[in-house]
Amino acid sequence: MISRYTRPAMGRLWTDQARYEAWLKVELAVCEAWAERGAIPQDALERIRARAAFSVERIDELELTLNHDVLSFTTSVGESIGDDSAWFHKGLTSSDVVDTAQCLILVEAGRLLLEGLNGLLEALGRRALEHKHTLCMGRTHGVHAEPTTFGLRLLVWFDELQRHRERLRDAADGLAVGKLSGAVGNFAHIPPSLEEQVLDKLGLRPAPVSNQVVQRDRHAHFISVVAGLAATLEKMAVNLRSLQRTEIGEVQEPFGKGQKGSSAMPHKKNPILLERITGLARVLRGFAVTGLENVALWEERDISHSGAERVILPDACILADYMLAKMTYIIAEMLVRPERMQRNLELTGGLIFSQRVLLALAAAGVSRENAYGIVQRHALACWESGKPLLDSLSSDREVTGVLDHIALLACFTYEPYVQHVDELFERVGLRSS
């Protein structure tokens, strides 16, 4: 991933240096397990521990000739160990090391993503509570529907992100496995008990059964979960972008001191961060497709997945980490304008209360079909004339014959749209501290 979207902690996990360190960690754990079984002399193990090292530059140099990254790695480490390198990589095939080490990295990447998601949930929960009762216009199909609260809108996202947190935990746990079962998974050169011994040292579980690789349904699930999280971040971004439009103006993403919005128009404050999140989510969705394509490999293994994973695994984690950080910043610092929300609530002259009038007429004995027709007739006329709906209804004897002024006026109140909001916050488990 380009440096523009790479945050340091996540980026370090996917460097060549970090990958080879993980490989070496696996190799040394295997040497230790063999030594504990008496298959490697203890003094040889001590020398291996003391001397084992590698150079990324040397590995790159060797790969120009060997055209095999694991052999280049083991050769580089072997050069540092010396004669005891005969014990190094004992009984292993390349994927034993690569897949187990990759799972170590992915588990750590999952931890960082969970950390970022928790930060976003904290910021989102705080803003939702802040605006729990802040009335705003609810829209369906982009058209004014009925009043809601801005806090409830944020609460929907909060609840959705909590589901993503559980999915991410599960997907990361599904990758907390390794395999040391050999070239075709039959443990011809390493017993299953040694695999268990090594993986316990590494904090992983054995894949219950494997061929030459850890099965890629695990990786596909992880990438799909990350892509699903990105889709929710995109949903948040698209909706906040819409609310920032000049005609609506209810929120605005942070705009820093000295920031410029346009090279030509000095007045512009564009939702560039939200648009960036939208665009990056499209990239992550594509990674999910590639992850699913990687599940099907020939017999015990081919490497059609390998090149793709070198791109999609680091880039998916790096992009998701970046998107979480940016969305957390946006939510925490965005400008919310309740006065603009109130202005928009009043924009249609009371049309947004049409359902309450409909229900009141029906409760007073008018058939629902007739009540709907009455309210719709007035509402559509008010759309065109700009006349307030209450005034229009008050002049209709068919309406006033069943609803007196007090009953009609009671339809034009915001209270019903906030009366259960507290219960919904409780249902989601979001409470003021």
- Residue-wise pLDDT tens digits, 3-36: 999 999 999 999 999 999 999 999 999 999 999 9
Which of the following is catalytic: 141, 263, 267, 433? Answer: 141
pLDDT value at 244 more than 80: yes
- Lowest mean pLDDT across 197-206, 240-249, 251-260: 251-260
Average confidence (pLDDT) over 327-335: 97
* Helix, coil or strand: residue 346: coil
Which among 193, 262, 304, 385 is annotated as catalytic?
262
Alpha-carbon distance 417 to 197, whole Å? 60
Residue 257 has pLDDT above 80, yes or no: no
| pLDDT for position 338 | 97
pLDDT at 190 exceeding the cut of 90: yes
Question: Active site includes 392?
Answer: no
CA dist., res. 165 & res. 169, Å (int): 6
pLDDT score recorded for residue 266: 73
How far is the C-alpha of 73 from the C-alpha of 25, rounded, in Å?
13
Q: Choose the weakest-confidence range: 282-291, 302-311, 318-327.
A: 302-311
Residue 82 CB neighbour total at 10 angstroms: 11
pLDDT at 55 over 80: yes
pLDDT digits (tens, 9 = 90+) for 90-118: 999 999 999 999 999 999 999 999 999 99
Q: Which CATH superfamily is domain 351-411 in?
A: Fumarase/aspartase (C-terminal domain) (1.10.40.30)
Whether 141 sits among the annotated catalytic residues: the reply is: yes
Q: Where are the beta strands (DSSP E) in 307-369?
A: 335-336
Q: Which of 306, 288, 289, 286 is nearest to 297 (CA)?
A: 306
- Report the percent of the chain where pLDDT is more than 90: 93
DSSP assignment string, 111-128: HHHHHHHHHHHHHHHHHH
Mean pLDDT of 323-341: 97
Q: Any residues with CB less than 8 A from the CB of 52 and at least 6 apart, and which?
A: 24, 27, 28, 77, 80, 81, 88
What token pair was written down for 56?
A: 């990324």
Query: Buried (b) or exposed (e) across 143-163, using 16+ Cβ within 10 A?
Result: ebebbbbbbbbbbbbbebbbe
Across the range 151-171, mean pLDDT stands at 98
From the list 39, 74, 32, the residue with the least C-alpha distance to 53 is: 74
CA nearest 97: which of 221, 181, 40, 207?
Answer: 181
Residues 6+ away with beta carbon under 8 Å from 31: 40, 45, 48, 49, 87, 88, 90
Model confidence over 367-404: pLDDT tens digits?
999 999 999 999 999 999 999 999 999 999 999 999 99
Residue 375 near residue 284, CB atoms below 8 Å? no
What is the predicted pLDDT for the residue at 264?
Answer: 67
Topology classification of domain 102-177+211-254+267-348: Fumarase C; Chain A, domain 2 (1.20.200)
pLDDT mean over 81-88: 96
Q: Look up residue 88 and give its two tokens.
A: 């190094």
pLDDT digits 0-9 by tens, 408-419: 999 999 999 999
pLDDT at 12: 97
Q: How many CB atoms lie within 10 A of CB 391?
A: 12
Please give the Cα distance from 334 to 102 (Å, whole number).
38
Mean pLDDT of the chain: 95
Confidence at 262, pLDDT banded by 50, 70, 90: low
* Mean pLDDT in residue range 130-143: 96
pLDDT reported for residue 265: 74
Domain positions in the chain: 102-177+211-254+267-348, 351-411
**Residue type at position 385:** S
Average pLDDT over residues 68-87: 96
The helix/strand/coil state of 239 is: helix
Dist. CA 61–CA 59, nearest whole Å: 5
